[in-house]
Amino acid sequence: MLEAFIAEGVSTIFGYPGGAIMPIYDALYDYHQKLNHILVRHEQGAIHAAQGYARTSGDAGVVFATSGPGATNLVTGLADAMIDSTPVVCITGQVFAHLLGTDAFQETDVINITTPVTKWNYQVTDATEIPSVLAKAFYIAKSGRPGPVLIDITKNAQLQKFDYEGYEKCSHIRSYRPAPIVRKEYVEEAAKLINEAERPFVIFGQGIILGKAEKEFKAFIEKAGIPSAWTIMGMSAIPTNHPLAVGMLGMHGNYGPNLLTNECDVLIAVGMRFDDRVTGRLDKYAKQAKVIHLDIDPSEIDKNVKTTVPVWGDCKETLPILTKLIEPKVYPQWLQKFADCTSKEHEKVIKMELNPCDEELTMGEVIELVNELTKGEAIIVTDVGQHQMVACRYAKYNQSKSNITSGGLGTMGFALPAAIGAKYGDKKRTVVAVIGDGGFQMTLQELGTIMQFEVDIKILILNNQFLGMVRQWQELFHEKRYSFTDITSPDFIQLAKAYRIEGKSVCQREELKSSLEIMLNHKGSYLLEVMVGKENNVFPMVPQGKGVSEVVLCKEDIS
């Protein structure tokens, strides 16, 4: 199995040993110079770290866990990786084959438990299957629309000996077609619609990053001259300061992209899945537009939004064909509408968030200073909550694979272990983990992993002493009935010190910039806690049950 990993180019494994996977760990003892194993403090930390690694490296993350609770502790991460299309290969140990179904010690039916949250899973009971099964696992995880794969290996198979004839990578599986055949007549239809459009609008997602099609996408929008907005997962596919980049879509996205979705005449969706956070009410979404949908996964076409022209295939293949067929154009008046919306949003929201008048620090001004000090070159890993939305709204990026977040599942506790993996995935870049006080406490035990392996990440806790996003909803829609969202936290600085990590807490604006500089320039990991306003809200906002054109800029606009 370890020879298979080396053949697949695996360099780093995140895991936690146990009885049912002990033979694999025994083999790993002789491979520590070829395979770097990171001992996490919880299996959930292992899979989130593997996700972070996959998202920054562009390769599959690898996880080891034992049977029973070890395997079930992976389920949240598997679900997260599944919905966010992250390639992860998980190896779990299992009890002896003859004990399956007997409720043996630390036995769970991991195959049936994980079937809904994996792209493929398989149980090995005979060691002779291991080479071919692992080859399939890596092929399935990384090809087409990526996703998590889990291989459950019984202990007898781990101990069994057989004549190993070498490892052969998999490049084809009967009945599995990772990328559909491109139908050029549909690409031609799409080009015709784009060429005839007066107010075209591009919305793009992570499919561009997963397909390594950033250059092809940039060439497409620049020739077409079309304003383009990103989903939370598509962020950083093009530089955030690109002249045609008009901001983020979604519940807390920018005003213009949300509002003008319902004014465009042709909507071109590239590598995104029209999830509910982007569309709001479907019966009010882009009803006036002809929709072109480019996606590698045919099941996403017409799933939520009816498509006028479907363009199946890998966008790295389909975008260049489409680019050749479209006419070079500019849309100055259409782009001006986005600029006008940005001006309105700046006046009513952004200016107050980035340059507040009162004494309370805002999350936005913290992120703006991070932008200034990192010059858009850092990898920012966010947890889930208000800080996530603020970071995704205001972070600036110059290169792809820079915004690492839990998008589809919204997993609190994601950021700290994912940041560890992100650093191993791209060791040359600064990794900043932006985390709320609630999410941090879900996986803070991974500070032990940082300590043991001396992982250099910068931990930025934006502490509003609330479960902020839930509190915002309670304020706006539940008459300020703050039911169990007021959270008490430990002394994070003393906690970090116990893990030999330097840290500081800041609550004064005049100390903020210098403290961020200390954090970013510190050799090794550093934890900076910033005390921000307790009841600040994230706007704009598309209230639940509303259409995207009903986006509001302040709480007074909510009806």
Distance CA 284, CA 259 (A): 12
Question: Token digits for 30?
Answer: 């002789």
Question: Token digits for 5?
Answer: 């990993």
H or E element, residue 23: helix 22-28
Residue 471 has pLDDT above 90, yes or no: yes
CA dihedral 290, 293, 294, 299 (to 10 degrees): -160
Query: What residue spans in the chain does CATH classification 3.40.50.1220 cover?
Result: 184-336
CATH says 184-336 is which class? alpha beta
Return the axis-axis angle of helices 315-325 and 184-196, rounded to nearest 10°: 50
Superfamily for domain range 361-535? Thiamin diphosphate (ThDP)-binding fold, Pyr/PP domains (3.40.50.970)
Distance CA 476, CA 534 (A): 15
pLDDT at 558: 87
Query: What residue spans in the chain does CATH classification 3.40.50.970 cover?
Result: 2-159, 361-535
* Helix, strand, coil percentages, rounded to 5, for the chain: 40, 15, 40
Residue 495 has pLDDT above 90, yes or no: yes
Strand, helix or coil for residue 308: coil
| pLDDT mean over 535-557 | 94
Distance CA 443, CA 329 (A): 49
Percentage of the chain with pLDDT > 90? Answer: 98
In tens, the pLDDT along 61-99 reads 999 999 999 999 999 999 999 999 999 999 999 999 999
CA dihedral 343, 349, 354, 355 (to 10 degrees): 90
pLDDT at 557: 87
pLDDT at 32: 86
pLDDT at 508: 96
Strand, helix or coil for residue 191: helix
In tens, the pLDDT along 234-260 reads 999 999 999 999 999 999 999 999 999
| pLDDT mean over 289-317 | 97
What pLDDT band is residue 158 in, cutting at 50, 70 and 90? very high
| pLDDT mean over 382-411 | 98
Phi, psi dihedral angles at 499 (to 5 degrees): -100, 20
What pLDDT band is residue 468 in, cutting at 50, 70 and 90? very high
What pLDDT band is residue 453 in, cutting at 50, 70 and 90? very high
- Which residues belong to the active site? 43, 105-106, 155, 469
pLDDT at 559: 73
Distance CA 111, CA 329 (A): 52
Residue 48 has pLDDT above 80, yes or no: yes
| pLDDT mean over 512-531 | 98
Fold classification of 2-159 is Rossmann fold (3.40.50)
Phi, psi dihedral angles at 520 (to 5 degrees): -70, -30
| pLDDT mean over 274-297 | 97
In tens, the pLDDT along 7-25 reads 999 999 999 999 999 999 9
Percentage of the chain with pLDDT > 70? Answer: 100
Q: Which residues contact 260 (CB under 8 A, 6 or more apart)?
A: 201, 337, 338, 341
